[in-house]
Amino acid sequence: MFTILQISDAHLSPRNGLFRTNLARLRDWAEAERPDLLIASGDLSLDGADREEDLALAVETLRGFGVPLLAIPGNHDVGSHARTMPAQPVDAARLDRFRHVVGPDWWMRDVPSWRIIGLDTEIMGTGLEAEAAQAGFIAEAAATERRLALFLHKPVFITKPSDPTFDYWSVPPQARAALAPVLGHPGLRLVASGHLHLHHGFQRGAVRYAWAPPASFVVDLPQDGLPGERRTGALLHRLLEDEVETSLVSPEGMELPWLSAIRAETYPG
Q: pLDDT tens digit string along 155-175?
A: 999 888 888 888 889 999 999
CA distance 53 to 48: 7
User: Alpha helix (H) ranges present in 65-201?
Assistant: 75-78, 92-101, 129-141, 180-183
Q: Average pLDDT, stretch 225-244?
A: 94
- Give 197's strand partners: none
Q: Which domains does the chain have, with CATH numbers?
A: 2-266 (3.60.21.10)
Please state, for a pLDDT cut of 90, what percent of the chain lies above it: 89
pLDDT at 269: 47
pLDDT at 54: 97
Cα gap 120→128, rounded to integer Å: 12
**In the predicted structure, residue 222 carries a pLDDT above the cut 80:** no
Task: Provide the pLDDT for residue 149.
Answer: 98
| 112 or 163, which is more confident | 112
Residue 34 has pLDDT above 50, yes or no: yes
Of 172, 175, 149, 170, whose CA–CA distance to 159 is shortest?
Answer: 170
* Structure confidence at residue 126 as a pLDDT band (50, 70, 90): very high
pTM here is: 0.97
Q: State the average pLDDT over residues 47-60.
A: 97
Rounded mean pLDDT of 30-49? 97
Query: What is the pLDDT confidence band of residue 263, given thresholds at 50, 70 and 90?
Result: confident
Query: How sure is the predictor about 226, in pLDDT bands with cuts at 50, 70 and 90?
Result: confident
Are the CB atoms for 169 and 136 separated by under 8 Å?
Answer: no
